[in-house]
């Protein structure tokens, strides 16, 4: 890519509050490219450095841009319990291969309020023995919440792991009615 093409690539970001803590949202002209949990200042700085390295341009804080304004609105609606299906353009450039295949199936095939097992998701993408690889794909998901890796659980009924922490996964599943709300 020449330097002129790099100048044209715009990566914008914002930190938004949510019921699960601050989230960093980043977008390109293609769409939402990254959602990061627990977006404290150190997490934000590491994420922005990684995005700059991976995407070849320095991200710019710009919550009012069209790329982010709609994403922020939809996240607010989701956490208010009003939105069940995100309708955002997504930039899949941070993920490829098997992981991208699994995450695309998850995004299109596991609706709000439902869960799927790691093994079942592996079967859906034609790799029935790849439950552990599905777990790796969930851990590398650059678009959590929108690509709902919180909806992937263990076949024995266990909640499984989660990059945002198990309490965050429980809160998301409770919001979607899969788990009961905590009593206190």
Give the mean pLDDT of the chain.
Answer: 92
- Residue 157 is predicted with a pLDDT of 81
Residue 4 has pLDDT above 70, yes or no: no
What would the two tokens of residue 2 be? 């020449």
Q: At which residue do the structure tokens 């997490």 appear?
A: 43
Spot the catalytic one: 106, 122, 138, 149.
149
Beta strands 12-16; 23-27: pairing state: antiparallel
Neighbours of 57 (CB within 10 A): 18
Per the annotation, the verdict on 129 as an active-site residue is no
What would the two tokens of residue 119 be? 């093994």
pLDDT band at 1 (very low <50, low <70, confident <90, very high): very low
Closest CA to 35 of 82, 91, 87, 83: 91
Question: Which of 19-23, 61-65, 97-101, 153-157 shows the lowest per-residue confidence on average (mean pLDDT)?
Answer: 153-157
Beta carbons within 8 Å of 73's beta carbon, 6+ residues apart: none
What's the rounded mean pLDDT across residues 123-147? 96
Residue 22 has pLDDT above 50, yes or no: yes
Distance from C-alpha of 55 to C-alpha of 138, rounded to nearest angstrom? 21
Distance from C-alpha of 45 to C-alpha of 47, rounded to nearest angstrom? 5
E runs forming strands in 48-143: 60-61, 116-117
Taken in order 119, 161, 107, 104, the sign of the CA dihedral is negative
């Amino acid at each position: 890519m020449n330097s002129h093409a790099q100048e044209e690539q715009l990566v914008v970001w914002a930190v938004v509050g949510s019921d699960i803590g601050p989230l960093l949202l980043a977008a390109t002209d293609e769409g939402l490219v990254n959602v990061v949990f627990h977006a404290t200042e150190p997490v934000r700085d590491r994420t922005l450095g990684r995005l700059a390295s991976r995407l070849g341009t320095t991200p710019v804080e710009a919550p009012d841009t069209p790329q982010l304004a709609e994403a922020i609105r939809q996240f607010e609606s989701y956490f208010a319990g009003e939105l069940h299906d995100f309708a955002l353009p997504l930039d899949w450039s941070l993920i490829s291969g098997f992981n991208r295949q699994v995450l695309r199936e998850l995004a299109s095939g596991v609706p709000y309020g439902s869960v799927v097992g790691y093994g079942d998701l592996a079967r859906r993408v034609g790799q029935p023995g790849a439950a552990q690889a599905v777990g790796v794909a969930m851990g590398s998901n650059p678009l959590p919440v929108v690509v709902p890796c919180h909806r992937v659980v263990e076949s024995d009924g266990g909640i499984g792991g989660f990059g945002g922490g198990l309490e965050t996964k429980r809160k998301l599943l409770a919001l979607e009615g899969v788990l009961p709300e905590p009593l206190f």
